[in-house]
Amino acid sequence: ITSTDLPANAAYLIGIEMNILNVHVNRSPIGGKVILCRCTKGKFMSLRKPESEAANERVTTVIGNGAFEIGIVQISSRLVRKIVSYIQEGDSLAIGQRLGAIVFGSQVDVVMPALLGLRIEVKAGDEVKAGISVMARY
């Protein structure tokens, strides 16, 4: 994704759309150290426009566990003007720990490397729940 430092070996991107009725707290998909936590200023376009993922304001977080890195991109939208980060670079996170929130919905992308034995557990249209749903197994 433009203007972000996602892991160099990124291979899978899972987009999680949140609407106004969803809980907007985002959690760490793995335990590890926060390598990057950066806010990129941008537009506030509707997420229905394909260019919004690259142009909208967002917070990019990269978490490494020594074996691999995962990227999380919290993306704002037309109605969302605030992304709150609870973490900073250098923090150690446990799996499922709260890392931030997007006020009133929007989108979160999780970027994963192509690891031998990695199995994506979600498919398009699935409803995921923070701290409960398993997106992938390794």
DSSP 8-state symbol, 67? S
Positions marked active-site = 106
HSE at residue 110, side-chain half, CA atoms within 13 A, is 20
Measured CA to CA, the distance from residue 94 to residue 60 in angstroms comes to 18
Nearest to 75 by CA among 16, 124, 9, 123: 16
In whole angstroms, give the CA distance from residue 8 to residue 98. Answer: 25
CA torsion angle 19 31 73 131 (round to 10) = 0
Which two three-digit tokens encode residue 122? 């979600």
Q: In degrees to the nearest 10, what's the CA dihedral of 82, 13, 133, 26?
A: -20
